[in-house]
Amino acid sequence: YEIRLSLVGSEMCIRDSGCSVEEKAQEAQEDFSNIEQVTKSIDVDCPEHIILGIPDNYGEPVFPICKEGYLSVLDPKTKIPRFVMHDVSASEAFNYVERLPEYSFSIDNTVTEVEQAQATDYRYSGLDRGHLMPWGDTDTLHLALESNLYINVAPMSASFNRGIWLTLENSIRSYVRDTGNLVNVITGSISSSATIGDGVEVPSGFYKIIYDERIHLMSAYLIYQDEDLSCLLYTSPSPRD
For 189-206, write each residue's pLDDT tens digit.
Answer: 999 999 999 999 999 999
pLDDT at 163 over 70: yes
Residue 69 has what DSSP assignment? S
Q: What's the pLDDT at 128?
A: 97
215-224 pLDDT, tens digit per residue, is 988 888 989 9
Residue 36 has what DSSP assignment? P
> Which is higher by pLDDT, 25 or 118?
118
What average pLDDT does the segment 18-43 reach? 45
Contact 152, 72 (CB under 8 A): yes
State pTM to two decimals: 0.80
Strand ranges (E), the chain: 12-14, 63-66, 71-75, 80-88, 128-131, 153-156, 183-190, 195-196, 200-201, 205-212, 217-224, 229-235
Q: What's the pLDDT at 56?
A: 55
